[in-house]
Amino acid sequence: MIYNITYEKKEDIEKIDASLGSPYGLLSRLKMGGIGSEKMNIVDASPLIEGLLQYEDQPNYCNIELRPRGVLVRFKYRAEMYGWAIPFAKLSVYKSEGTYRIYGDAEFIKVTKMLNSNALRQFMDKLLAKRVEYLASISGPFD
């Protein structure tokens, strides 16, 4: 689900927290070595997201915040900030030739690194490890 989070409406924040969990506290963030990605270029997106990003001459950027039960992808259109809440159960990430495709429900974005490809790879590895950890915690043992 995509929310306009510019003014942090209480209802939207509650919906995001209900689906992804509350943001990590300071100590958890430090133990994890950070919970946010570096700034990434958006090079392609699904029609709904593309409609929110229609800049004619400016590049589009996003970043990803890890949450206990999913990720929040943030991107900006003009003066409006949007948050795309993706629970781990609906998240898929694919890597190909320096780009990552992030899918959630019927939407997707394709991103590339801004500066340091190692930092982006390390963050994506952390994201996928958290996803596996979460999915293992909610599913029963395989008998």
142 pLDDT band (50/70/90 cuts)?
low
Q: Two tokens at 68? A: 């206990």
Is 29 part of a structural domain of the chain?
A: yes
Domain containing 43 equals: 2-137
Cα(91)–Cα(98) distance, rounded to whole angstroms? Answer: 19
pLDDT digits 0-9 by tens, 72-110:
999 988 788 999 999 999 999 999 888 999 999 889 999
pTM over 0.85: yes
- pLDDT of res. 105: 87
Is 143 part of a structural domain of the chain?
A: no
Is 30 part of a structural domain of the chain?
A: yes
First to last CA, the chain: 34
Count helices and strands (H / E) in the chain: 4, 8
Number of domains in the chain: 1
Cα(120)–Cα(49) distance, rounded to whole angstroms? Answer: 22
Q: Are 14 and 39 in contact (CB under 8 A)?
A: no
CATH number, domain of 121, equals: 2.30.29.30
pLDDT digits 0-9 by tens, 10-68:
999 999 999 999 999 999 999 999 999 999 999 999 999 988 887 666 788 999 999 99
